[in-house]
Each structure stands twice: as structure tokens, then as C-alpha cells.
Amino acid sequence: MATISPAPPGGVSRTGGTARRVVGMSAGLLLLALALFASIMFGSRTTSFGDVVDVLSGTADAQLTAVVESRYPRTALGVLAGLALAVAGTLMQGVSRNALAEPGLLGINAGASASIVTATAFLGASGGTATMWWALPGALLAGVLVLAIGSGGSGRSQVRLVLAGAVLSAVLMAFIQAVTLTRPQVFDSYRYWVVGALGGRDFEVFRAMLPFACAGLVLALLLARGLNALALGDATAAALGARPWLVRSGGLLAATLLSASATAAVGPIAFVGLAVPHVVRAVVGVDFHRQILFSCVAGPALLLIADVVGRIVLRPQELMVGVVTAFVGAPALLVAVRRMRGNA
């Protein structure tokens, strides 16, 4: 199992490390700003830089203003979902000390999917905001169930956690396949959500996701010191005053809140929670305070850039953001695995 090392050797220059962090974080903030502007600028109708400036300054005509402002909910949701998935991935990798861990291990994607299929097939639920409200309890319930079975402080409990997530996901996916194969109309509604997309959502979805994401982020920041101690091993963490089982349980709960709310809002989006923590550690180092804060920059930047690419590459059609992240993330994962095998 690929593990995350707690700290670099003492010979590394503190000044050089600080300079690298400053440059990396500045580049990340600039990239996020550009991604925000591009997300507002690009869509089915082309708008120029000057058009966006006119809208933001209030001097544009009503038609142009309506076109640009229609992209605000999509952009805001991309920021919040990217933040949630990236921080959840950072927590999962920190709690498990496994550099290949990601939020999907908790069965959250399968729980949200099963909830949507159930609501559509048996309760007559339709798309839109209703999808968010049906997916969220399913995602949370699946995550909490996996935590109840597998959480704890020992290495064996971490294996139980992975096994519980895998078994629950397999059972729920079998249920989903059975329902969608026998009810084609359910599949037609489900297939759009399951790819993962930012389009077609309004600010109501953003507002519904916001409290869960904020609660998860606050809990993550409160646990950062404990995660730093946990990276040194359970015995050392306990000697430093941390409670490994409590840190792990809290970290998994925060990851559940973050990834469940994001998945319910935008669908399952692969590789953001897996790839972003690797980039973040390369920029800011092993301190979890910095990792969590920089994940709030890198995650939204990645998701918004992927969404903009999806809007441009097949114009006038659109490629779902979940497809774009999978295309980019799969090679990135292979590179990460090869690097870790080379360092082993």
C-alpha cells in the first residue's frame, strides 16, 4: 500500500521550501482567478473579455447580461464542488495514510445513485433540484453506514473500512442495474446525473450544498493538527496528545459531509479527490493546515478548467465535466502510481 511520508529530511532548506510554497500558492490563486473568468466567459454563446467586463460593471445590454449571468450558478457550484471533493480527498489520504485513497471508498457515489434510482422508479421524482435532495440522504446514509462498520484506530479497521465500502457499493450497484434494466425511463433520467455535470443547476442546488460543505470544511480545519500527528504513526500521535481513533473518525465524517454533498449536487466526478491532494502536497508540503487551505484553491481551479474544456472542445455540443476529469485523471493516476513504485 502506498503511504504518505510524514515529513522530509531535515537537510531541506526552509527558505527554499517557503519560496516554493509562495510561488505555488500564488500560481494557484492566479489559475483559479483565470478559471473563474473563463467559466463566466465561455458557453454556447461566445462572449468576449470586454463583454464580461461590461456585465460586471453594469454597462451591458439586458440580453448580454442575461446570457452571462446564467453562468453564475454553474461557476459557483463548480467552486464549491471542487473545494469539497479536493478537501475530502486530502482527508481520506491523510486518515488512511494511503496516497491512492479517495472519497469513493466510502460508498458515497453508490449510495447517492441508489437513492436517485429509487426515488425516480418508485416515488415519481424528476430531475432538477429534486435530484439533489434525493441523492444527499442516500450518499450520507451510505457514508455513515460504512463508517459505522469500518471506523476505528487499528490497521485492521482500515481494511474493514475499505471492504465495507466495496461490499456496499457492489450491492447498491447491483440494485441500480436491476432497476434501470427493467425500467428504461429510469435509466434515461439517471444516465445524465451519473456522468457528473455542472450545467443545468441553479443557485438553489448551491444553497442546499453550502451548509454541508461548510460543516465538513470547518471540521477538517479543526482536525488538521491531529492529522499532522497521525502522519507520524498512531503511537507517536498518542504520545503527542492526539486520539488516533477520534481523529480518524472525525476526518472520515468530514470527508463524508464534503463528498456526499458534492456528489448529490453535481453527480459522481472522478479523480478530483484523488489527483488534487498529490498536487497540493507537492506545493505546500505535508502540513495539513496548508494542504486543506490550498485544496480550497486547487480543487475549484481543476474542476472549473475541466468544465470550460468540456464546453469548448465539442462546440456547439458539450462534454460533461465528469468525462473530462476522467480523461485527464486516469493518466495522472498512472503517473502517480509509477512514481510511487519508483520511490518504494
For residue 279, being part of any structural domain is answered with: yes
Rounded-to-integer distance, Cα 43 and Cα 344, Å: 45
List, for residues 73-99, the tens digit of each pLDDT value.
999 999 999 999 999 999 999 988 878
For residue 343, being part of any structural domain is answered with: no
In degrees, rounded to 5, the angle at the alpha carbon of residue 142 between the alpha carbons of residues 140 and 145 is 105
For residue 102, being part of any structural domain is answered with: yes
Q: Helix %, strand %, coil % for the chain, to 5? A: 80, 0, 20
List, for residues 248-286, the tens digit of each pLDDT value.
889 989 998 999 899 989 988 988 998 899 899 989 999
Whose CA is closest to 277, among 80, 140, 20, 98?
98
| Dihedral angle sign, alpha carbons of residues 238, 17, 97, 169 | positive
Q: Domain residues for 306?
A: 47-335
Answer whether 49's CB lies under 8 Å from 235's CB: no
With 0.85 as the threshold, say if the pTM is over it. Answer: yes
Answer whether 234's CB lies under 8 Å from 245's CB: no
For residue 125, being part of any structural domain is answered with: yes
Answer whether 251's CB lies under 8 Å from 95's CB: yes
For residue 312, being part of any structural domain is answered with: yes
Task: Give the confidence band of 302 by pLDDT, cuts at 50, 70, 90.
Answer: very high
Number of separate domains in the chain = 1
For residue 257, being part of any structural domain is answered with: yes
For residue 191, being part of any structural domain is answered with: yes
List, for residues 170-184, the tens digit of each pLDDT value.
999 999 999 988 888
Average confidence score pLDDT of the chain: 84
pLDDT at 5 over 80: no
For residue 187, being part of any structural domain is answered with: yes
Q: How far is CA 47 from CA 32, 41, 54, 200, in A?
A: 19, 6, 11, 19
CATH code of residue 261: 1.10.3470.10
Task: Give the confidence band of 21 by pLDDT, cuts at 50, 70, 90.
Answer: confident
